[in-house]
Amino acid sequence: MDIQRIIAFVVFSFSLLLLWENWQQYNNPRPVETSKVAAAPGATAGTEASANVNANVNANAEIPAGMPAEVPPPASIAQVTSAQNLKGARAKVITDVLSVEIDANGGDIRDLQLTNYRETTEEKTPLKLFEEKAGRPYYAQMGFVGGQLPTHKAVFQLTPGEYRLKAGEDKLEVPLTANINGVEVVRTYVFHRNSYVVDVKTRIANNSTALVSGEPYYQLMRHGQPPEGESALLYTYTGPAIYTDAEKFQKASFEDIEDGKASHSKRATDGWVAIVQHHFFAAWLTEDPADKSERAFFTKSLGNDLFTAGVIRPAVTVNPGQEKSVAMRLYAGPQELSKIEQLAPGLDLVVDYGWLTILAYPIFIALSMIYSVVQNWGVAIIILTILIKLVFYPLSAAGYKSMAKMRKLAPRLQHLKERYGDDRQKQHEQMMKIYKEEKINPLGGCLPILVQIPVFIALYWALLGAVELREAPFALWITDLSQPDPYYVLPILMAITSYIQVKLSPTALDPVQQKVMMAMPVLFSIMFIFFPAGLVLYWFVNNILSILQQWRINVVIEGGGKAANDSKH
């Protein structure tokens, strides 16, 4: 087997793997019960909340059970699994990086926009992480399990209108209040400048004559579809994830939750719960990373393509005349590695580096270090490509030398084919004899190339998962390295350089193989039209470096061979 077939096989197989993953995700959707869509928990139906607080709290006791108790539940965990909400008074919060809407009904965060990011380069509209869109709701919710304190179905009192973080201010507080039979519950959202962290503080003042108790829970309720506009050729994980020190990072896909494979309640003394999507995520974190109080994580299917993932904290018991406070943190924003890894242990694992994280992570760290110097992600990709090429130069040089020697032998091998015709055994024996005479190992270039394949795949995932490349310009028409080249210039250049590489490689003896090798650049250029410009830029630069290296070695090998022949005459 010659070297170009090995390269083509590995790269083509990797591409087929990506396409197969996408086919499975996008062409086998889960059935949705359309008859129940109108009653989906996230739908508002335009109804305003008019019932009083006590009526809402009493309704919570009727929430049907739905959480299987694989471990003993903390209390009445079934109460957490309902998500039906009406629309109430709104507080709109605007900071330097967030635009948020908080609804008095449940005190939920129903809308959250990342104002420094756009849905797409063309649309120019702020990216919505949480939204109230029909059929695609995504909320952050919280409450208490137990029936004595409000759940996410209770109505809070808030002062509606706009809350804006003013110049010179570092934080902005938005309070909501619920009074239940003499118990005052004040939930305060605290927003910070230049931060995607929202502190959620809850104070319980028991002004009644009876003891009250409840277990605070914090959950994310989301539809089960990938983000709108995600490329069909670039599948990335969308779904819940739970991290604990004991079990580390674990995904609980929407499909597994719906099939009952991941519906669970897990106890731990640390960790966090999140819902992850390409480049962004939302997560409930403890206010103090060193907090070792017991908590229970859960995931649940609500039906109608709606799911919840959350955490329940230890019970809070408040005696008459006393008050207590609990706090959690909500992160809702980009997967910026340098920032999120400081918030909680293991939080950096939400960045999806595929199955080669052990290589992809250090590659991205190196890319970030280069960017800190050059301040251009496109230039950083070019420099990183050159550095990787230099690291593997001895290995790739060995491979190219083997290819150059094979290229010199091409006429003799073709002669053997013509001489022995269909006698494959005799043809093979003579080929092995020539290889031995010329001291050529026909597989000498295989290992160097195969060693580099994992690095290429790791770099692919590192660039694909880097939110830092989102809306990052390179030069001229490339204004977003995370999006495909709008004018297809890079894919065309990549196709041209791939064609040159094929021409520099030894010619296959089989005419069918020759046609396949010539068609590969065209096929890959078509596929790469849909790839992010940053990935195509890497491949294009790598092609140029490979061409230069292969050309130089070809010249040296062929020049040396010609000089040796001249000296014999």
Whether residue 296 contacts residue 312, with contact meaning beta carbons closer than 8 Å, is answered with yes
pLDDT, averaged across the chain: 78
Q: Which long-range contacts (CB under 8 A, 24 or more apart) does 409-417 make?
A: 409/434, 409/438, 409/440, 409/506, 410/506, 410/507, 413/509, 414/509, 417/509
Q: In this predicted model, which residue has the larger pLDDT, 97 or 482?
A: 97
| Domain limits, CATH 2.70.98.90, in the chain | 36-352
Q: Among 2.70.98.90, 3.40.630.30, 3.30.420.300, 2.60.120.380, name the CATH number for the domain at 36-352.
A: 2.70.98.90
Alpha carbons 174 and 422: distance in angstroms, whole number? 83
Give the residues across from 93 on adjacent strands.
100, 163
Q: In this predicted model, which residue has the larger pLDDT, 508 or 140?
A: 140
Distances in whole angstroms, Cα of residue 493 to Cα of each of 10, 384, 488, 497, 542: 22, 19, 9, 6, 12
Q: Please report the pLDDT score of residue 298 as a whole number.
A: 93
- Quick check: 4 pLDDT over 60? no
Q: Please report the pLDDT score of residue 84 as a whole number.
A: 53
The pLDDT confidence band at residue 175, using thresholds 50, 70 and 90, is very high
Please state which of the ranges 16-20, 286-290, 358-362, 365-369 shows the lowest mean pLDDT: 16-20
- pLDDT > 90: what percent of the chain? 40
Mean pLDDT of 533-562: 77
Mean pLDDT of 144-160: 90
- Quick check: 568 pLDDT over 50? no
Per-residue pLDDT tens digits for 427-467: 777 777 777 776 666 655 565 667 677 887 888 888 888 89
Please state which of the ranges 64-73, 134-143, 339-348, 549-558 shows the lowest mean pLDDT: 64-73
The pLDDT confidence band at residue 526, using thresholds 50, 70 and 90, is confident
Per-residue pLDDT tens digits for 19-73: 444 433 333 333 333 223 333 333 333 333 333 333 333 333 333 333 333 443 4
Q: Please report the pLDDT score of residue 97 as a whole number.
A: 96
